[in-house]
Amino acid sequence: RKEVEQDPGPFNVPEGATVAFNCTYSNSASQSFFWYRQDCRKEPKLLMSVYSSGNEDGRFTAQLNRASQYISLLIRDSKLSDSATYLCVAFTGGGNKLTFGTGTQLKVEL
């Protein structure tokens, strides 16, 4: 089982839709999680940090479920500019080891 797993998608949604991605992690000791956004041929950019049960920032909401070992990202009122790959990231080991999920591709269409 991979340490961090995501549905690769693509998720094709119309503009204005609400879309949710899930990410599961295998290490129950993981404490911190992050969602990054990556545009084609660009570097990943931090979208949200998830340290406790969840976090909300405008149209974006992240939830953490420790019992089931998954985190989710909800995007409301999708914009064309939200089209990107969303990477789920977890601290999975000692030191400063961050592990990335495979990423979920989102395409928002007119």
Partner 1 sequence: DTEVTQTPKHLVMGMTNKKSLKCEQHMGHRAMYWYKQKAKKPPELMFVYSYEKLSINESVPSRFSPECPNSSLLNLHLHALQPEDSALYLCASSPPLNNSPLHFGNGTRLTVT
Residues interacting with partner 1, by CB under 8 A?
Answer: 31-32, 34, 41-46, 49, 51, 87, 89, 91, 95-103
Q: Kindly tell me which of 17 and 63 has the beta carbon lying closer to partner 1.
A: 63
- Its sign, for the CA torsion 94, 52, 42, 9, is positive
Query: How much is the CA Rg of the chain, to the nearest whole Å?
Result: 13
Q: Closest Cα to residue 86, out of 107, 65, 59?
A: 107
- The least CB distance from residue 5 to partner 1, in Å, is 11
Nearer to partner 1, 73 or 87 (CB): 87
The distance of closest approach from Cβ of residue 16 to partner 1 in the complex, given in angstroms and rounded to an integer, is: 28
- In this structure, are strands 104-109 and 11-14 parallel, antiparallel, or unpaired? parallel
Nearer to partner 1, 17 or 38 (CB): 38
Helical (H) or strand (E) element with 61: strand 60-65
State the pairing for strand pair 33-38/84-91: antiparallel
Q: Supply the minimum distance, in Å, between the C-beta of residue 102 and partner 1.
A: 5
Tell me whether residue 42 or residue 79 sits nearer to partner 1 (CB atom): 42
- Report in angstroms how near the CB of residue 53 gets to partner 1 at its nearest: 16
